[in-house]
Structure 1
Amino acid sequence: MNRTAPQAAKPRVLAPGVLHAMRRFTSPTIANALEALGVVPSQAVYTNASVRCLFPELGPMVGYACTAVILSARPASNPRRIWRTQYWDHTRNSPEPRVTVMQDLSERPQGAYWGEVNANIYRALGSLGVMTNGTARDVDEVRQVGFHVFCSDVQVSHGFAHLEDFNCPVKLFDVVVHPGALIHADQHGAVVIPSEIASQVVEAAREIEQREKRMIELCKSADFSIEALDKLIPDSY
Structure 2
Amino acid sequence: MTHSSEALSAAVLEALGRYDTPTICNAMEIVAPERRLIGYTTKPLVCPFPDLPAIVGYARTATIRSVVASGLPAAEQAARRIAYYDYVGTGPGPRISVIQDIDGADVGYGAFWGEVQSAVHKALGCVGVVTDGSIRDIPQWAEGFQALAGSLGPSHAYVHAESFGGEVRVAGMTVRSGDLIHADQHGAVVIPLDIAAKLPDAAELCGRRETPILDIARSTSFSLEKLKAALKQASEIH
Give the TM-score of the pair, scaled to structure 1. Answer: 0.88
Q: Which amino acid aligns with 1:122?
A: H
Q: Secondary structure at the match of 1:69?
A: strand
Q: Which amino acid aligns with 1:96?
A: G
Counterpart CA distance in 1 for 2:233 and 2:46 is 34
Q: Which amino acid aligns with 2:166?
A: C
Counterpart CA distance in 2 for 1:123 and 1:102 is 15
Q: Which amino acid aligns with 2:88?
A: T
Q: Deviations over 1:57-98 (max 9, x none)?
A: 112111110111111121111234771110111111121111
- Whether 2:46 is the aligned partner of 1:52: answer yes
Taking a change above 3 Å as real, the CA distance of residues 9 and 184 of structure 1, as seen in their structure-2 partners, is closer
Q: Which residue number corresponds to residue 3 of structure 1?
A: none
Q: Which residue number corresponds to residue 137 of structure 2?
A: 138
2:29–2:36: 8 Å Cα contact kept in structure 1?
Answer: no
Q: CA offset at residue 220 of structure 1? A: 3.6
2:43–2:172: 8 Å Cα contact kept in structure 1?
Answer: no
Q: Which residue number corresponds to residue 97 of structure 1?
A: 94
1:110–1:160: 8 Å Cα contact kept in structure 2?
Answer: no
Q: Which residue number corresponds to residue 207 of structure 2?
A: 209
Point out where structure 2 has 5 or more consecutive residues left out of the alignment. Answer: none
Q: Which residue number corresponds to residue 84 of structure 1?
A: 81
1:132–1:150: 8 Å Cα contact kept in structure 2?
Answer: yes
2:2–2:179: 8 Å Cα contact kept in structure 1?
Answer: no
Q: Secondary structure at the match of 2:112?
A: strand
Counterpart CA distance in 2 for 1:213 and 1:9 is 36
Q: Which residue number corresponds to residue 59 of structure 2?
A: 65
Q: CA offset at residue 233 of structure 1? A: 4.2
Counterpart CA distance in 2 for 1:188 and 1:84 is 31
Q: CA offset at residue 44 of structure 1? A: 1.8
Aligned length: 227
Q: Which residue number corresponds to residue 10 of structure 1?
A: 3
Counterpart CA distance in 2 for 1:37 and 1:114 is 35
- Whether 2:225 is the aligned partner of 1:228: answer no
Counterpart CA distance in 1 for 2:127 and 2:82 is 19
RMSD: 2.0
Equivalent position to 1:154, from 152, 156, 165: 152
Point out where structure 1 has 5 or more consecutive residues left out of the alignment. Answer: 1-7
Q: CA offset at residue 146 of structure 1? A: 2.0
2:209–2:235: 8 Å Cα contact kept in structure 1?
Answer: no
